[in-house]
Structure 1
Amino acid sequence: MIRVLIADDQDAVRFSFRTILGAAPDIRVVGEAADGNAALTLAKEQLPDVALVDIRMPGMDGLELTRVLGEAVPATRVVVVTTYDLDAYVHTALRNGACGFLLKHSGAGLLTEAVRAAAAGDALISPEVTVRLLRELATPSPAEHPLTDRELDIVALVAEGRTNAEIGATLYITAGTVKTHLANIQQKLGVENRVAIAAWAWDTGHCTPRRPTRP
């Protein structure tokens, strides 16, 4: 069971997140806080696996909370969930140790997937944020690689910010099969998570999936 702490100063947002996560059989909300200081106290008491943290909160803001949690409760993985997708926020959040950055309108599926990814030691960033950040990388240059055509299709869709379910639907395979492919891709490329896979795709020019066909 993945234990989650929600930190957001808006009652409606906390209720929404609690409802979404409560519908997942493998996730349990163990605490809620309306400001950064209260969230830190709860995290020390509850030791959650994942903390969903808003940026703009009274007292300690979410960016500082992310940094402090990394020092005080290092086992807790932080996913920043906010309305604001300013590059400065994204960069600071990731630099302070966040393993995910979601916009609040990303949807229930992406929220639960981000929690699961964080708990598994992976990372997930909202698609529109991912694409914008990765396009800041250097001009793509072709490179030798050990990936199959199917794996390249998955890499390209990851670079677009697609979830496992969306990739599976596009390629006519199950989300479980996508997860297996991603594990193989990470091993072959020597990277740790899907954000690094997306970065590799943009850096090497493998950002356009082939026309999908049924297996």
Structure 2
Amino acid sequence: MCAAGTEALAAAPIGVIIADDHEVVRRGLGMLIEGEPDMRLLGMAASGAEALALAAATAPQVILLDIRMPGIDGIAAAAQLRAAHPRLAILMLTSYSDDARIYAAMRAGASGYLLKEMSGDALLHAIRAAARGEPQLHPTIARRLMDRVMPPDDPLARLSPREHDVLRLIARGLSNKEIAFATGLTEQTVKSYVREILGKLGVADRTQAALLAVRYGLIGDAEG
């Protein structure tokens, strides 16, 4: 068991599917996941169509999805998976880091964008975090997106103290329900705060808001 195993969840094992058209990659990832006591490999797919069928049959919590696959590619598969399985964590795991594919994957509903150059421990950490509902970005991708969304002034100055509190919890990966519990607010009130925060920061989603929180010092890298 690797060092990342210390993060193992106490609940039932995380069900994972691997979708990649390269057999060597599938086998390597499969061995990595099968070595973790808090994860269960539900199956492997060599195409987008196989991934869709396998997800429907096994109801995984996390899918590792390559972008370039025969027939239905990873981005098209991600869009269909998001529509059919709204709670599924879709992690794009690819060799491509160009902006066009990153933004296409996010628009399709991907929960994260990871590069195959990452270590095994880092990938296992990302799977566990994604299963908890936390967005996952490879550090290279995160830095690039921070550069894109960073305005010249401090955007956090636009937020109220309560909105700062909510954004700090968003950046730590908490869901609306968890934020409501932590702050004593209702879940509906938290949803309203989240909408206000996204609007004031001029970002499209929670991931970009979290990146701004880290970039402008509201939360440190170690906290996230």
Equivalence for 1:56: 68
1:135 to 147, 166, 169: 147
Contact 2:95–2:115 (8 Å) recurs in 1: yes
Deviation string 1:87-128 (CA, Å, 9 cap, x unpaired) is 111111111111111000111122112211221111110001
Equivalence for 2:217: 206
Q: 1:193 to 1:120 in 2, by over 3 A?
A: farther
Letter matched to residue 42 of structure 1: L
TM-score (norm: length of structure 1): 0.72
State the identity %: 33
Matches within 5 A, 1:45-124: 45-124=57-136
**Pair 1:27-2:39 in alignment:** yes
Whole-Å separation in 1 of the counterparts to 2:39 and 2:31: 11
TM-score (norm: length of structure 2): 0.69
Letter matched to residue 99 of structure 2: D
Aligned pairs, how many?
Answer: 178
SS where residue 64 of structure 2 aligns?
strand
Letter matched to residue 141 of structure 1: D
Report the RMSD for the aligned CA atoms in angstroms: 3.1
Q: 1:27 to 1:183 in 2, by over 3 A?
A: same
Equivalence for 2:7: none
Whole-Å separation in 1 of the counterparts to 2:32 and 2:14: 14
SS where residue 94 of structure 1 aligns?
helix
Gaps of 5+ in 1: 148-154, 156-178
Contact 2:17–2:62 (8 Å) recurs in 1: yes
Whole-Å separation in 2 of the counterparts to 1:197 and 1:209: 11
Q: 1:128 to 1:38 in 2, by over 3 A?
A: same
Equivalence for 2:15: 3
Gaps of 5+ in 2: 1-12, 163-167, 184-192, 198-204
